[in-house]
């Protein structure tokens, strides 16, 4: 077996150690059955589910006043769930827009609340975030929505926007667990698992308890934070396999030393890659350095006609899924927790050699 270094933005690489563990437990998880074959209401699965939650709570330091929900429908379902749960019918919500995903969230959110654009960084790909002094925030908004990391543009806001008493609704799909955060600065955090946590099919929602039931609105039960919290995310059959794998990823991270260690590793990875890009004449990244993503590093080749050859030769070298999103072109290397520094070193070595031969 040879594993490629997989730079996909999502579904993304999983840690080798986690895949090995899944393989060893796959036909018999201790009960003579695969974890995929057991009831979500069995004692065995409930233990797996509870351990996953407690590991995630440890990793992120989630306060007791927050509920952790294991939902389905991806981040995209949360684009609707956030307004349905948080905004009363007579309220509006503020949206901070600086990329593809926040723009989609604005469109979908606007179908369920009066969504107002507090800041718009302009057409994609954005390369900087307008100064907060220019944002038009409403002190009576039900929430302020933003995407902490724009996966396609490779643009990240590391510091948390100041919104006074208005709760933040934060899409962390592509940055969660990349380093420590202060959960208490957010009203609700959500993230699809398939980037930095596990397989597709699971969405993690971390919501402050007092916001649950706030809107008083009718909504589909599977999007209702209150119904999901009451049932411990087992209102209906949850994505059991994805939940199990996410739990393995969380304990892999804890064993590694938690998010402080993840931060050190991720900092070294992104510094190495951005330095290689900035030090070359063939590659460039146009994102303002203070907003460069730690997890999705985008770059373009000076001569676009070399793109196909670059991708083909990279693949030959075992470096796959480097093509940028179709809407922005160029290249993108997603370097989530499961990407070891060796993968980034191999990429940087390949880029250097390609440049010398170009």
Ligand X SMILES: *Cc1c(COP(=O)(O)O)cnc(C)c1O
Residues lying near ligand X in the complex (CB under 6 A): 10, 74-76, 101, 147, 151, 171, 173-174, 192, 195
Q: 3-class secondary structure for 68-110? A: EEEECCHHHHHHHHHHHHHCCCCCEEEEEECCHHHHHHHHHHC
Q: Is 171 a catalytic residue?
A: yes
User: Which CB atom, from 29 or from 174, has the smaller least distance to ligand X?
Assistant: 174
As to burial, measured by CB atoms within 10 angstroms (0-12 exposed, 13-18 middle, 19+ buried), residue 46 is middle
* Least separation in angstroms between CB 342 and ligand X: 25
Residue 28 backbone class (left: φ over 0; alpha: ψ -120 to 50; beta: rest): beta
User: Which CB atom, from 198 or from 350, has the smaller least distance to ligand X?
Assistant: 198
User: Which member of 135, 195, 252, 269 is catalytic?
Assistant: 195
CB 17, CB 252: distance < 8 Å: yes
User: Which CB atom, from 167 or from 201, has the smaller least distance to ligand X?
Assistant: 201
User: Which CB atom, from 186 or from 195, has the smaller least distance to ligand X?
Assistant: 195
Q: Is 120 a catalytic residue?
A: no
Nearest Cα to 80, choosing from 174, 177, 215? Answer: 215
Q: Is the dihedral of CA 74, 76, 82, 88 positive or negative?
A: negative
Nearest Cα to 81, choosing from 191, 244, 157? Answer: 191
User: Which member of 98, 101, 243, 294 is catalytic?
Assistant: 101
Residue 183, number of CB atoms within 10 A of its CB: 17
* Least separation in angstroms between CB 219 and ligand X: 18
* Least separation in angstroms between CB 150 and ligand X: 6
User: Which member of 135, 171, 243, 252 is catalytic?
Assistant: 171
Q: What is the DSSP letter of 142?
A: S
Q: What are phi and psi of 184, to 5 degrees?
A: -65, -10
Length of the chain: 358
* Least separation in angstroms between CB 103 and ligand X: 11
Residue nearest to ligand X (CB): 74
User: Which CB atom, from 72 or from 116, has the smaller least distance to ligand X?
Assistant: 72
* Least separation in angstroms between CB 152 and ligand X: 8
Tokens of 114: 């009066």
Place of tokens 């290397």: 333
Q: Is 195 a catalytic residue?
A: yes
Catalytic residues: 101, 171, 195
């Amino acid at each position: 077996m040879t594993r490629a270094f997989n730079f996909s933005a999502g579904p993304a690489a999983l840690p080798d150690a986690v895949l090995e563990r899944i393989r060893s437990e796959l036909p018999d998880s201790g009960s003579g059955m695969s974890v995929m074959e057991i009831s979500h209401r069995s004692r065995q699965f409930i233990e797996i589910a509870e351990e996953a939650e407690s590991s995630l709570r440890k990793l992120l330091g989630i306060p007791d006043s927050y509920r952790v929900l294991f939902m389905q429908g991806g981040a995209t379902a949360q684009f609707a769930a956030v307004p349905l749960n948080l905004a009363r019918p007579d309220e509006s919500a503020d949206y901070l827009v600086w990329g593809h995903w926040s723009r989609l969230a604005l469109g979908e959110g606007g179908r369920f609340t009066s969504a107002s654009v507090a800041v718009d960084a302009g057409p994609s790909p954005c390369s900087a975030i307008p100064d907060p002094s220019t944002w038009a925030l409403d002190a009576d908004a039900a929430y302020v929505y933003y995407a902490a990391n724009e996966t396609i543009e490779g643009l990240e806001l590391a510091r948390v926007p100041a919104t006074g008493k208005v709760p933040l609704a934060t899409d962390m799909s592509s940055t969660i667990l990349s380093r420590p955060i202060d959960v208490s600065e957010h009203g609700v955090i959500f993230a699809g698992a398939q980037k930095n946590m596990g397989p597709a099919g699971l969405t993690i929602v971390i919501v402050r308890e007092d916001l649950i039931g706030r809107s008083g609105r009718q909504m589909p039960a599977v999007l209702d934070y209150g119904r999901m919290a009451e049932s411990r995310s087992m209102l209906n059959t949850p994505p059991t396999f994805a939940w199990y794998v996410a739990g393995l990823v969380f304990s892999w991270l804890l064993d590694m030393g938690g998010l402080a260690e993840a931060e050190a590793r991720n900092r070294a990875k992104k510094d190495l890659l951005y330095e290689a890009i900035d030090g070359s004449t063939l590659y460039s990244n146009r994102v303002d350095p203070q907003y460069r993503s730690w997890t999705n590093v985008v770059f373009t080749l000076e001569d676009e006609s070399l793109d196909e050859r670059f991708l083909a030769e990279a693949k030959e070298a075992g470096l796959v899924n480097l093509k940028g999103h179709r809407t922005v072109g160029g290249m993108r290397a997603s370097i989530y927790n499961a990407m070891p520094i060796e993968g980034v070193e191999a990429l940087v070595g390949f880029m250097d050699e390609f440049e010398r031969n170009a």
